[in-house]
Structures are given as structure tokens and as C-alpha cells.
Chains A and B, each alone.
Chain A
Amino acid sequence: MLKDITLGQYFPGNTAAHKLDPRTKILLVVLYITALFTAKSFLAYGLMALVLAVCVRVSKVGLRALVKGLKPVLFIIVFTGVLNLFFTPGEGILWAWGPLHITSSGLRNAAFMVLRIMLLIMGTFLLTYTTSPISLTDGLERLLNGLKRFHVPVHELTMIMSIALRFIPTLIEETDKIMSAQKARGADFESGNLMEKAKALVPILVPLFISAFRRADELATAMECRCYHGGEGRTKLHVLKYGRRDYTALALGVLVLAGVIAMRAFGR
């Protein structure tokens, strides 16, 4: 069912991870990703996995929810793993069959790539699991504030983003409804060749687009009625403020990155 899609779903909570300033969390994710791409040894990956485990523990997000997030990219993970496993050139061939061969470096590469993608996705999902879309875009807006000097419409962009995020569940529900209604009229989405399947989507897409435009129009009117006029002079209900918790978290993040860089420098 469409309803089962969990993409950046927020799990409300009251843990330290939820209470962190969204800017801190975004910065931490940036540090985390940098560290992931710097890591070159099992020791470094071990450290990253440990960091993730601690974060998961702190945020009290169920491991199952996190693993579920991996499902949509399972194909990519397997594909990368297989590609790296069989096609990495190098010494020390362990097994060969025609053009396929497994080398020890291939084995290593495959393991690293799979680990990297999994850690990457779980880490970023942790961000969206513990941060509501509103505070996420709020944090993003504040972080990118400096770009306003270069006439980048930061406020508008983040507003677009938060509205888009807000409407994902609504549109999914709408799609479900329209699909049921067309099925009730005998629409068939399952059988037929590719062309027929594409054609079968028309009765869903047309009403969906119309309803999306209608919603956008209504939303715009509603926003105007409440005197929305862009970011100029707009104040915040919740003013973001770094606290001691945030400094601690950022310091730890930098420490981990430094550690990973050091491991790489010393070849461990």
C-alpha cells in the first residue's frame, strides 16, 4: 500500500536527540557524512557504526524503523555490493570464473561500500526521525541565512520545502482515494504492457494534478489572508538558540571527524 511509505517520517519524542537545536543536528549530519567518506579502514567504520549506535540509543528510535528505511534502497545496496565484489581489479585473486573474479581488495571495497551506504542512510534518517519538518526547515533557513547577502531567496526556498514536506502525506492519501475510485470504475493498473500501464495512470494523474493545483491555490489564499508577505520582517515563534547541549554535541562531532581523519592519516 502507498500508505506504508515512510520517507522522512518524524517520530515525536522527548529525548536529548529530539531536543537538540535543528541546526546542530544538520551540522552533525554534515560532519557525520564527511567522516563517513573519509573513513578508509575497518577501525574507522567501526567507530562510525558505534557513533550511529549511540545516536540511535539516545534518540530511542526503534532499530526496526531504521532498518525499514533501508528497504527502498536495498536494490542499490545489493547492486553496489555485487559490482564492487566482482569487478574490482587487484592482486590476490581468491576466486575467478570468466570475467568475474573476487579479489581481497574487491571484498574489502564491497564491504566498505555497503557499510557506507547503510550508515549514510540510517544516519540521515535519524535526522528526519527526530526532527519535525518544520524545525528542520527552520534550522536550514537559519543556517543558510548568510546566503541572503548574495540574493539567494533562502526564506522562500525553505518555505517551499516545508510546504512540500507537509503535503507529501496529503497527496499520498489523495492518490490512494483516486486510485480506489478509478478501480471502482474498473480501471486496471496491474495488467498490460508498459505502454498500457503508463496510459492507465492518466485517470490518476489528471485528478491528482488538478487537486494539487487547487490545494496550492487555496493555501496561497489562506496565507495571504493571514498577511503572509515573504520573509521580510517576519519574526519566529520559536527562536532557535544554541544551548550547552548543542555545543557538547558539536564538539563530540568534530572530535569524531578528527579521529577518523587521524586514522586515515596514520593509515589505520
Chain B
Amino acid sequence: MPILEIQNLTHTYGIGTPFQRSAVEDVSFSVEKGEFLGIIGHTGSGKSTLIQHLNGLLKPTSGQILLEGRDIWAEPKKIRNIRFQVGLVFQYPEYQLFEETVYKDISFGPKNQGKAGEELDHAVREAARLVGLRDEHLEKSPFELSGGQKRRVALAGVLAMEPKVLVLDEPTAGLDPAGRENLMANIREYHRHKNATIILVSHSMDEIAQNVDRILVLKSAHILMGGTPAEVFTRVEELLSAGLDVPQVTRVALALRDRGLPIDSAVYTVEALERQLLALKRGGGPC
């Protein structure tokens, strides 16, 4: 059974006003346990609206969201429980920090959950460890930290709730290249060690290509396509027409193929292209 199932989800803003507009329309997909799913789409394609449904921040206009087979809106009064199970990290989450110390800020979520004492302490320290924060950081004020570290604190604040599904909205936006790679490495490690289910929303094709098992492409409130990175990145034309890009290495492969090299252009990692090129060279091709 999929851990998360979205059935015919539609969300319409401003019903009955001249500004009525569907941000998400008849979207269905499911996420398996332990899967790393990537969602890409142009600005305004409905990504943010979509993910805010997953933890019940927004209520669908029509359609259902099933978490482990149960409709999350079955008991509207208990929607807070859903938010602990589906952890959502917003864009630029460092702007939501408010406590005096990093430790206290991370413990905000688990405390709301009702954790206390040993259990709380363990959850906070484990989350801090997962995002690579050292013990000495925990007693500092979050406002003394660097941008990248603040973001880690915010991420830890959600991880400390030990959610079953983690949803990340552009977690690396605005970080420098080293900061991006470090943060993604932490997220990958979290995925691997905890067999966690992760949904990653990103603008960066390279980031998506390198990390996820499966990709959903959104275009103007609908799912344009879905599949493994290899499947999605072969449909270059459609991606470009949706205002999206392909990973840089895919573009290199395409350019090489255009110049007559017999290359499978559905590559999205540098290693895969390297293998192909080496094979060509050994085979005595025109390389």
C-alpha cells in the first residue's frame, strides 16, 4: 500500500469571485514508502499549493489525500496529527525561527507533539545530528548562525517530529554551491539511513536528477508527466515547452548526439555520460 495517495485533487482559489482560479486540477499520484520523489514545475504551476495539501494546511476543493490508506480529513479536528506525520519544510524556512536557542527552536515541533523529557531530548539531538549541527550550536541563538546553518536548524525542527513523510520545498534555494551540496548530502543520508519517504520540490534539474527515484512534472495545475529520471529527461522537447530545463549533462549529451555521436541522450548524471563516452572510445568510435 502506498504511504501517501493523492486522488483527483483539485484546489480552486477565490471561488465565486472574478479571480477564481484552479491552482491544482484533478491531480492523482501516489508515493511508496521509502521513495524519494521529486516534483518540478515552473513558477505558478501549482507545486506549492499541491504540497500544502499533503499535511492538511490547505483543504482540497475536491479530491482526497490518503495517508496510509486513511483520508487525512476524516477527522478535521485531528488534522494536527497529520502535520506531525507529514513534515513540511517551507521555502526559506530560516525565517520562521523564533526561539532563544537552537535547541529550543528545534524542540518546538516535538513539544507540540507532546514529547517531553528524555524522549524530547533524544528527538532534538538526533535531528540536529542528522542535519550536521554540532552540540555547541545547540545552545546558541539561531540568529547568530550563518544562513546555511539557520536552514539546517529549521530542517531539524521538522525532522525532530520524526515524520513518516518529509516534504521539502526548494530546500537549497539561496544557498551557495557548497552549502547546497552539503545540505543535499544530509538529506540523502537521512533518506538512506531511515528509509524515509521524501518529496523534494525543486527548480534545479541537476538537484532533482541526482537525488530522486521518480519525478513528477507539473504544468499549469496538471501533471504533465511522471516517471524515473531517465524516462522524464528523454522528453526534452516537452520539458522545454513547459518552461523547464534538463540537467546540464543531458544538454551536453544532446549536443554531442546532434553532432553525430551515437549517444543515448537520456543521461542525467555525469558518471553515466562518462561511461558511454568511454565505451565509445574503446569501441573505436568517432570520439
Partner of B98, one of A177, A184, A188, A202: A202
**Is A243 in contact with chain B by the CB < 8 A criterion?**
no
**Is A182 in contact with chain B by the CB < 8 A criterion?**
yes
Supposing A180-B57, A210-B143 touch, asked if A186 and B83 sit within 8 A by C-beta, the answer is: yes
Range of interface residues on chain B? Answer: 20 to 34
For residue B65, give the distance in angstroms from its CB to the closest CB of chain A: 15
**Is B55 in contact with chain A by the CB < 8 A criterion?**
yes
Once the chains are docked, how many angstroms separate the CA of A74 from the CA of B52?
33
Among B84, B88, B95, B157, residue most surrounded by chain A Cβ atoms (within 10 Å): B95
Decide: B95 and A211 in contact? CB cutoff 8 A: yes
- List residues of chain B with CB within 8 A of the CB of A203: 96, 98, 108
- List residues of chain A with CB within 8 A of the CB of B143: 210
**Is B80 in contact with chain A by the CB < 8 A criterion?**
yes
- List residues of chain A with CB within 8 A of the CB of B95: 177-178, 181, 207, 210-211
**Is A206 in contact with chain B by the CB < 8 A criterion?**
yes
- List residues of chain B with CB within 8 A of the CB of A185: 83, 96, 108-109, 112, 157-158, 161
Please encode chain A, from 178 to 215, with 1 for each CB lying within 8 Å of some chain B CB and 0 for all others.
10111111111000000000000011001100110000
Please encode chain A, from 109 to 153, with 1 for each CB lying within 8 Å of some chain B CB and 0 for all others.
000000000000000000000000000000000000000000000
Once the chains are docked, how many angstroms separate the CA of A177 from the CA of B90?
9
Please encode chain B, from 81 to 103, with 1 for each CB lying within 8 Å of some chain A CB and 0 for all others.
00110011110010111100000
Query: Which label, helix, strand, loop or mixed, suits the secondary structure of the A interface?
Result: helix
Which partner residue on chain B sits nearest A182 by CB separation?
B96
Among A183, A187, A210, residue most surrounded by chain B Cβ atoms (within 10 Å): A183
**Is B195 in contact with chain A by the CB < 8 A criterion?**
no
Which partner residue on chain B sits nearest A181 by CB separation?
B96
**Is B62 in contact with chain A by the CB < 8 A criterion?**
no
Q: Within residues 199 to 243 of chain B, which ones have a CB less than 8 A from any CB in chain A?
A: none
Residues of B within 8 A of A (CB): 52, 55, 57, 80, 83-84, 87-90, 93, 95-98, 108-109, 112-113, 143, 157-158, 161
- Contacts A184-B83, A206-B98, A207-B95 supplied; 7 other A-B pairs, CB < 8 Å: A184-B55, A184-B87, A184-B90, A185-B108, A186-B112, A187-B108, A203-B98
